[in-house]
Every structure is written in structure tokens, then in C-alpha cells.
């Protein structure tokens, strides 16, 4: 985490020199999971990074991902909330300030997402898979009807994992 914070501080110092103004330092966590390497929460001045991707892609993460997320916070501080996330303001910070390509996405190896599906049935021969979100709504009382036969859909008690 020390190297990450050092890189973050360097990015902020470059911005402060360029724009002759101070920028509030964000809170930083390494608790992000899943497909994203980092996320900037603009209104909370918070950066979340993916610890596993940081470990597995240490050098590139420090070189690219940290400035990428810092540039979001700097762009927000300079131009407000009406700009596009990866718009020209953000791109200019990446290329002109940090001397880096303005890439929207990382190319780190990511394990495929595992998805759980809950199987529902009606009067039709094949089952209908529900996402965990829709299944949770059913458990709270929501009802769904089959669009083909009109019967209510009922949980079979089965679930499967894909991916």
C-alpha cells in the first residue's frame, strides 16, 4: 500500500504544480473486488482499488491504474460533475499531465465471473433461470407470470452456477 500511496501523492503533486492550486487527498482502500481495477467516487473523494489486481500487475497498476483514477478526481475538482467520465477533460489529464495513454479499460487477466441462476417453472416444458436479484424479489413476495402460458412461475429449489 505504501507504493500505491506514494504514486498517488506524486500524481497529486503534478496536478498541483500544473494548476497552481491544492487538491484534497482522497481516502484510499484496497477492498474492491471483481472485474474493475479501480473506482473513483467523485462526491466522496474516495478511491477504491482491487488488491488482487494490484498484487498480480504491480508495476502497470502503479503506472496506469493509479493515475487513471486520480485523473477522475482531479477532473471532477477542476470541471465539476457535468463532464463525461472518460471525456476530453479526463483524457487531457492523462496525456498532457501524466504523459500516459488515455485508456478507458485495463487489460489485466481476470477470472471469468461466476453467475448463480435460480430455476423457476411454469406450465411450459423448459425452466426459466432467474438472477439472484430477481430471486430475492420473489422471496420478498413479488410474483412473476410466464409470458407464454400465463402461469405463475415457481421456484424449483434448484440453482446452477455458470462460468
Catalytic residues: 69
26-34 long-range Cβ contacts below 8 angstroms, 24+ apart: 26/73, 28/1, 28/4, 30/1, 30/4, 30/54, 34/113
Place of cell 483514477: 69
The answer to whether 26 touches 45, Cβ cutoff 8 Å, is: yes
CB atoms within 10 A of CB 61: 23
Alpha-carbon distance 141 to 7, whole Å? Answer: 50
- Asked if 101 and 26 count as a contact pair (C-beta separation under 8 A), the reply is no
Amino acid at each position: 500500500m505504501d507504493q500505491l500511496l506514494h504514486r498517488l501523492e506524486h500524481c497529486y503533486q503534478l496536478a498541483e504544480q500544473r494548476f497552481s492550486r491544492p487538491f484534497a487527498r482522497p481516502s484510499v482502500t484496497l477492498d474492491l473486488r471483481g472485474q474493475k481495477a479501480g473506482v473513483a467516487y467523485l462526491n466522496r473523494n474516495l478511491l477504491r482499488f482491487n488488491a488482487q489486481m494490484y498484487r498480480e500487475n504491480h508495476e502497470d497498476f502503479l503506472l496506469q491504474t493509479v493515475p487513471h483514477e486520480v485523473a477522475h478526481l482531479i477532473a471532477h475538482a477542476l470541471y465539476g460533475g457535468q463532464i463525461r467520465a472518460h471525456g476530453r477533460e479526463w483524457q487531457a489529464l492523462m496525456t498532457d499531465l501524466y504523459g500516459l495513454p488515455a485508456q478507458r479499460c485495463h487489460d489485466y487477466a481476470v477470472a471469468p465471473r461466476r453467475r448463480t441462476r435460480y430455476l423457476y417453472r411454469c406450465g411450459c416444458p423448459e425452466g426459466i433461470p432467474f438472477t439472484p436479484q430477481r430471486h430475492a424479489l420473489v422471496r420478498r413476495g413479488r410474483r412473476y407470470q410466464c409470458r407464454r402460458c400465463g402461469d405463475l412461475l415457481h421456484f424449483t429449489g434448484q440453482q446452477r452456477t455458470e462460468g
